[in-house]
Structures are given as structure tokens and as C-alpha cells.
Amino acid sequence: MLQVSNIRAHKEGYIQALKKRNFNAEDVFEEILTLDESRRSTQTQLDETLAESNQLSKEIGMLFKSGEQQKANILKEKTSQLKDKSKELSDSFNETLAKLEQLLYTVPNIPNDLVPAGTTEDDNEEIFNEGDIPVLAEGSLPHWELAKKYDIIDFELGNKITGAGFPVYKGKGARLQRALITYFLDKAVDAGYTEFQLPLLVNEASGFGTGQLPDKEGQMYHVTEDDLYLIPTAEVPMTNLFRDRMLTEADLPISCTGHTPCFRREAGSYGAHVRGLNRLHQFDKVEIVRIEKPENSYAALDGMVDHIKDLLQDLKLPYRILRLCGGDLGFTAAVTYDFEVFSTAQDRWLEISSVSNFETFQANRLKLRYKDKDGKKELVHTLNGSALALPRVLAGILENYQTPEGIKVPEVLVKYTGFKMID
């Protein structure tokens, strides 16, 4: 969530920057600033009324002590009027504040200068690619056919148990999935991230804290009776570990990692491009989250990008990195880098990670600050990335490592799987 003080100070610059997102902020900023002016004016009146009431209460006490009961009663009548006035002002203040917050929730983050202009994913900027695309033997299959051939993932059984988008991993498929999770976690821990096991359900405050609510409310599974949400990513509970915290400079940086299942409704997703593991309602992901001093956050972002590069180099998968344009940028992000693996059997790129710097956008919602060495309170910067999302990594491995004899297991995973080939 943007800070009102920053909107006031950088209004024209923010309006121009948000045009990269195709978001017209002019009218909403005017309304925000008008509401904030009303809020501040009401707060001033309320403070003055309470101060006057407190002063009269002291005078009343002194008058009663001196036996001047009549004068005291006259002042008591006035304090009663001031009490009514303060309640009206307090109600007005809270109503204005609620309207202001709801309006602020509708404004996306300001894109960083690094973000290119553009309206769709076609305008994203490729900044890096690595790895040779393998030449597959004739008759090579997409991963959903390979899964059936080698009996390692059962999409139909998952559909029977729950519905489409909830696959069942079997035998060597389940072991390969577990190997990837353990490998990703081990690499994160070795890189200095602290591992967490996290709740899979979060409350509304957590959803608002990281920006999934209200922006993606329709994409989250909602347990209505308890008003809890199934997590769409470990970013939500992991970042909310630090909600309403005042950190010290010595606490920073903070680096966290964790594996969770993730749940997304993916409403409206249909077609051949979402077959098999390409898009699921339940999937596993290892997440990395960092909390940084503002001046260090972009160096941290580069470090997270390098960490994911290292994973893909170890897996020997061909990949590329895209810097998302304004029109494709997520609501909360200031800048995002997408990693995509090339699926040779499908002849298309599959997104397998997003790494984002949210700058102060989440921290302002979370009320997450730190005291610098001079005791000044500042908002931190928060960052997160998938390291990695498993379904499309697994799809890339099955398709790119297939041979006439079976599917080879990437060398780096053999010590985790205990086998070298799925056949």
C-alpha cells in the first residue's frame, strides 16, 4: 500500500509511473488526498476537543475541592457537550480513515524505473537466457503422456478424488517430487536462508498484509465458516511472520525459506496450454523471502536471481529470464523477473519462478518497520521468489530428459531419488 505522504510529495511522478501499468491514478489520488485532508482536520479538532475536556476535568476537580459546587456543575455540563462532540468527531475520523484505507487498497505499487512500458506479456523484456535446447528423438511425448506411460502421475485419479488440477504423484514420480523439494530447501539453507514450516491457512489480515486481498480474493480458496484462506504461496504466511514488528538495524537482513503446498482457484483457465502440470489448483513450491534495508534491496534482488540461476544450471534445464512490463506486473510488485524453462516436447516456454521486489508496498500494509542507528523508524523492503515451483520444473525434466529407454534423472537429484532412470 502506498503511503499518503509519498502520494502528496510525488503525486505527478506517481501518476506518470502508474501509466506503465495502464492505471490512471489522477482521480483516485485526488480523492485520497481530499480524504486525508479531511482526516487530518478531524484529528486536529478531536485532539483540541479532548484537550479542552481534560483541562475542564482538572478545573472541575479543583472547584469541588474548594467547595464551588455550582461552578463545577456548570463546567460538568460543558464537558458532557464536549464528550458528545468528541464522539461525533471520533466516528467521523474512523469513517474517513476506513474510506481512505479502502481507496489505498485499490492502487497498485509504483513500478521501478527498470520496468519497461507495455500492456501484455508480449511486451516483457528478455534479459538473459542459458542452456541448449535438447534435440529429442522422433516420437517424443509431452509430460502428461510420459506420466501415463511410466505410471508416475495420475491426473484421472486426482480428478476422481477431488477434481481437475489435483494430480496424484505415484512411485518414482512421488520420489522425484520429494527429491526436488529437498534439493531446493537444501540449496536455500546452504545459501543462508532459515527454513520454516508454515500454516497452510491464513486469516484475512495476513491476506491484506501481503496484498493478495482484496486484489486476488476470487483466486483464493476461502473457508467461509472460519473466514480463513488456503495459501496461494508460502510468501503469505512467511512474510506475515513479521507483521506488526519493529525490527532493529541489527536484525537485517532476514532471509527465510519454506516448502508448502499452494492452492489457487485459477478461475477461467482452460485450453491445451493448461494441460497436465502446466496449471494446477494444488501444487508444491519452495519459496524464498527477504526483508532488507531499502538501500540494500536491489542487491538482494540480484542475489535471489543468481540463486535461482544456480538451481537451473544444476538441473541443466534451458531457461530464460524476463523483466515484466508494466502491464504484466503483479499488483504488489515494484519489479518482477520471471524465469521460464523451455519445454522441448511442447515447444513452448513454461514459467517456473517469479522474483519480485515490493519495496515498501507490503511493509506499509504489514506495519513492518525497523529503527536505524539514529533511532529513526523506517519501512523495510520485502522481496520474494519461487525457488522453485515444482510442477513446471517437473514437466521440463520429464520432457527434456526423455530418451527411448526412459526418462533420465538430473545428476544433481540422483542422491535424493536413489535412482537414475524412470523406465
Count of beta carbons in the 10 Å neighbourhood of residue 30: 11
Judged against a pLDDT cut of 80, whether residue 39 lies above it is answered with yes
Three-class SS string for the chain? CCCHHHHHHCHHHHHHHHHHHCCCCHHHHHHHHHHHHHHHHHHHHHHHHHHHHHHHHHHHHHHHHCCCHHHHHHHHHHHHHHHHHHHHHHHHHHHHHHHHHHHHCCCCCCCCCCCCCCCCHHHCEEEEEECCCCCCCCCCCCHHHHHHHCCCEEHHHHHHHCCCCCCEECHHHHHHHHHHHHHHHHHHHHCCCEECCCCCEEEHHHHHHHCCCCCCHHHCCEECCCCEEECCCCHHHHHHHHCCCEEEHHHCCEEEEEEEEEECCCCCCCCHHHCCCCCCCEEEEEEEEEEECHHHHHHHHHHHHHHHHHHHHHHCCCEEEEECCHHHCCCCCCEEEEEEEEECCCCEEEEEEEEEEEECHHHHHHCCEEECCCCCEEECEEEEEEEEEHHHHHHHHHHHCEECCEEECCHHHHHHHCCCEEC
pLDDT of residue 57: 83
Judged against a pLDDT cut of 90, whether residue 216 lies above it is answered with no
Q: Name residues whose C-beta falls within 8 Å of residue 330's C-beta, 6 or more positions apart in sequence.
A: 324, 336, 354, 356
Judged against a pLDDT cut of 60, whether residue 178 lies above it is answered with yes
Instruction: Please state the rounded mean pLDDT for residues 233-254.
Output: 97
| Bridge partners for 288 per DSSP | 257, 385
Cell numbers 515498501 correspond to 360
Say whether 352 counts as a known binding-site residue: yes
Share of the chain above pLDDT 90, in %: 85
The pLDDT tens digits of the residues spanning 317-368 come to 999 999 999 999 999 999 999 999 999 889 999 999 999 999 999 999 999 9
Q: Name residues whose C-beta falls within 8 Å of residue 69's C-beta, 6 or more positions apart in sequence.
A: 63
Dist. CA 288–CA 300, nearest whole Å: 12
Judged against a pLDDT cut of 70, whether residue 176 lies above it is answered with yes
The pLDDT tens digits of the residues spanning 392-409 come to 999 999 999 999 999 999
Say whether 245 counts as a known binding-site residue: no
CATH topology of domain 4-104: Helix Hairpins (1.10.287)
Tell me the whole-structure pTM to 2 decimals.
0.92
The pLDDT tens digits of the residues spanning 83-106 come to 899 999 999 999 999 999 999 999
pLDDT of residue 269: 53
pLDDT of residue 271: 55
- The per-residue pLDDT of the chain, averaged, comes to 94
Judged against a pLDDT cut of 80, whether residue 267 lies above it is answered with no
Share of the chain above pLDDT 70, in %: 98
Dist. CA 47–CA 44, nearest whole Å: 5
Say whether 8 counts as a known binding-site residue: no
Say whether 26 counts as a known binding-site residue: no
- All structural domains of the chain with their residue ranges: 4-104, 121-422
Say whether 80 counts as a known binding-site residue: no
Judged against a pLDDT cut of 90, whether residue 205 lies above it is answered with yes
Say whether 290 counts as a known binding-site residue: no
Instruction: Please state the rounded mean pLDDT for residues 377-398.
Output: 97
pLDDT of residue 365: 97
Q: Name residues whose C-beta falls within 8 Å of residue 158's C-beta, 6 or more positions apart in sequence.
A: 164, 165, 166, 167, 168
Closest C-alpha to 232, from 197, 200, 188: 200
Rounded alpha-carbon distances, angstroms, from residue 185 to 336, 386, 391: 22, 11, 16
CATH topology of domain 121-422: BirA Bifunctional Protein; domain 2 (3.30.930)
Say whether 353 counts as a known binding-site residue: yes
Say whether 48 counts as a known binding-site residue: no
Q: Give the strand pairing for 254-263 and 194-195.
A: parallel
The upper half-sphere exposure of residue 207, i.e. CA atoms within 13 Å in the direction of its Cβ, equals 22
Say whether 266 counts as a known binding-site residue: yes
Say whether 354 counts as a known binding-site residue: yes
pLDDT of residue 74: 82
